Structure 1
Amino acid sequence: MTQQTDILCIGSVLWDVIGRSASHMRQGSDVPGRITRLPGGVAMNIAMTLVRFGMTPALLTTIGRDAEGDELISTCARMGMETAHIYRSEDLPTDRYMAVEGANGLIAAIADAHSLEAAGAKILRPMEDGALGSREAPYDGLVALDGNLTLSLLEEIAKNPAFARADLRVAPASPGKAERLLPFLQNARATLYVNLEEAGLLCQTEFPDSATAAQGLLGRGALRVLVTDGGKSATEADASGAITQTPPAVLVTRVTGAGDTFMAAHIAAEATGAGRAAALNRALLAAATYVSGETPL
């Protein structure tokens, strides 16, 4: 691991192929628009945001030894990420995500992320073979973990001695996959970044606000949690106590990616020595700036 690298981002790194049109669309629509390709995936999105906040992440993922994979590796490196520990598969293609968006929102999307699932624990080899750490000498730095990994792999990470000293920060890829974080409740390992809906799914109940949800997660075994509730409130809590703050009121122009921005800003703030209240405040300000359409820095 290079000296300047200060956090690992583990999970999905792929190409996003997005078709956008200014027209309202429905099934069967054939309209003019723009098609773009850019790096994506939850781990990649978090890594890109961390770079904007001055951090240098190393990626642990799988990328194929195909032309698309070579280009993706080069792109990540140019953006300031460490790519030396990525698992390069000879027989698995580089993953892709394709979406079509109209003026009326997301029309359809397909995630072709079978290579990450097929690679499984191979992406974690640097944590055990001495490159980054081992079971006997665990890696003891920051780790941002993509909850998009398979349940079996997340269960392994939650129990693996190679992660015993890591400062694990975990976020679900979507509310539908929130329950994949249960192993981290059962093993009291990691800081969990979830929204109110995801907290309810993990606890199999509904919570009225972030503070109640945070206490519910701690009661279920969580080590530390950050629960957001849109523009209403956000709570950071562990066994020592809880802090609840209200985000600034802004005009919301986008939502997708706000969670990644909040998580990355909070990690970056704590990495520079900010206290609990200051780190939460910085994260809320960054997320508010992002949803208002600006780029948080």
Structure 2
Amino acid sequence: MSASVESRVISIGALHFDTIAHASLPIRPETSTPARHSSKPGGVATNIARALVKLGIETGLVGALGEDGPAHTLLSQLTAEGIKLSHQVRKGFSTGQYLALHDPDGELAAACVDDKILSEAPPGLFDRIIAELKSSLPHGTIWFLDANLPEAMLHRIIETIGKGRLIANAVSNAKAPRLKAVLGKLDCLMLNRGEAIALTGLAEESTAERLVDALHNMGLKNLVLTSGSSDVLLLESGSLTRFSPPPVDVVDVTGAGDALTAGTIAALANGKALKEAVPYGLSAAAMTLQNTGALAQGLSWDAIENF
């Protein structure tokens, strides 16, 4: 899997307004906990787009917004960051919002999401946008899809794109199965252990190698599988490669998986083969783990190349 340096990326999926609380004490459900709050753009497709722009990759973001304060905030900030935003306004729907509660060690204690604006959207919501983008984009464009997109919409988008380089992220255990019917059409799927179990239906105790084999048998040609701090497995054209994540002091786990995806895609867009690209993704993920929020301070192509 390789790319030309002229490649662009179009990221399609969740466009959220995130509120993150970092507690100073372990969170208990029956009482309030002192915490530091921050608000910023979020959603997997948005996180990927923001990181890619930081990594020097010209990137477009396709998503849905309501007619509310969070929508105006997102439009202003994302445009200022250099993202080419193509959005569909859905009247009567609130802009997607995500609330996360983190314990002092950075681990996620609880999270809630309101994503009806996308999860209840008609399959053809982005037809016009994607058709217009496709007609103007160069050969070699990378299309990124997140599994926040409803199953019928995933089918529709892939059909509209036609021939193209498709990379997807499984997002969560609950949403990963939405990708089952399109696995054979993807150039690469990025996912974690829980999402692989949800996709394959295998037992919780299944080895990572067993999960990779099952996904390959389901039609996936290439995949990148993470298992927490354990080795990352790359399946590429039937060959399995292991990568050890660099050891870091974890401040916040938010966005580490998205950073892995973004760093890998950036390397592909810069002409790297998939096997060469994954270490760039691991560097981006490590930088993100050392920071608060989904976008690491100081993230750049030079930073992950020299991490």
TM range, smaller chain: 0.7 to 0.9
Indicate whether 1:239 and 2:237 are aligned: yes
Look up the match of 1:99.
100
Shift in Å, 1:265? 0.5
Aligned partner of 1:223 among 211, 221, 224: 221
Look up the match of 1:58.
60
Correspondences of 1:6-17 after superposition (within 5 Å): 6-17=8-19
Per-residue Cα deviation, 1:63-112 (whole angstroms, up to 9, x for no partner): 123333122111110011011x2112333332222334443754543311
Correspondences of 1:141-156 after superposition (within 5 Å): 141-156=141-156
Look up the match of 2:185.
188
Q: CA 1:191–1:107 in structure 2 vs 1: closer, same or farther (change >3 Å)? A: closer
| Percent identity over paired residues | 28
Shift in Å, 1:254? 3.2
Aligned partner of 2:126 among 123, 126, 145: 123
Look up the match of 1:269.
267
Per-residue Cα deviation, 1:124-155 (whole angstroms, up to 9, x for no partner): 42123xx1137xx9986211111112222223
Indicate whether 1:203 and 2:200 are aligned: yes
Mapped partners of 2:101, 2:247: distance in 1: 30
Q: Is the 8 A contact 2:119 2:149 kept in 1?
A: yes
Mapped partners of 2:37, 2:244: distance in 1: 38
Amino acid at match of 1:119: A
**Count of paired positions:** 285
Q: CA 1:276–1:155 in structure 2 vs 1: closer, same or farther (change >3 Å)? A: closer
With structure 1 as the length reference, what TM-score do the two structures score?
0.84
3-state DSSP class of the match of 1:263?
helix
Per-residue Cα deviation, 1:207-256 (whole angstroms, up to 9, x for no partner): 423x4433331221113211223333222223363333222333344333
Q: Is the 8 A contact 1:140 1:165 kept in 2?
A: no
**Residue segments in structure 2 that go unaligned for 5+ positions in a row:** 1-5
Q: Is the 8 A contact 2:7 2:141 kept in 1?
A: no
Shift in Å, 1:8? 0.9
3-state DSSP class of the match of 1:39?
strand
Amino acid at match of 2:146: D
Aligned partner of 1:114 among 113, 116, 134: 116
4+ residue runs over 6 A deviation = none
Amino acid at match of 2:242: T
Q: CA 1:5–1:62 in structure 2 vs 1: closer, same or farther (change >3 Å)? A: farther
Q: CA 1:208–1:156 in structure 2 vs 1: closer, same or farther (change >3 Å)? A: same
Bigger shift: 32-41 or 51-60? Answer: 32-41
**Residue segments in structure 1 that go unaligned for 5+ positions in a row:** none
Bigger shift: 218-227 or 85-94? Answer: 85-94
Shift in Å, 1:62? 0.7
Amino acid at match of 2:153: L
Calculate the aligned-residue CA RMSD, in Å. 2.7
Mapped partners of 1:101, 1:248: distance in 2: 23
3-state DSSP class of the match of 1:288?
helix
Shift in Å, 1:261? 0.7
Bigger shift: 190-199 or 102-111? Answer: 102-111
Q: Is the 8 A contact 2:7 2:140 kept in 1?
A: no
3-state DSSP class of the match of 2:37?
strand
Amino acid at match of 1:287: A
Q: Is the 8 A contact 2:142 2:167 kept in 1?
A: yes
3-state DSSP class of the match of 2:216?
helix
Mapped partners of 1:138, 1:124: distance in 2: 19
Per-residue Cα deviation, 1:27-51 (whole angstroms, up to 9, x for no partner): 3423443332211111111111112
Q: CA 1:7–1:151 in structure 2 vs 1: closer, same or farther (change >3 Å)? A: same
3-state DSSP class of the match of 2:82?
coil
Shift in Å, 1:5? 8.7
Bigger shift: 283-292 or 46-55? Answer: 283-292
Mapped partners of 1:225, 1:28: distance in 2: 41
Amino acid at match of 1:46: I
3-state DSSP class of the match of 1:110?
strand
Look up the match of 2:73.
71
Amino acid at match of 2:49: A
Bigger shift: 99-108 or 70-79? Answer: 99-108
With structure 2 as the length reference, what TM-score do the two structures score?
0.81
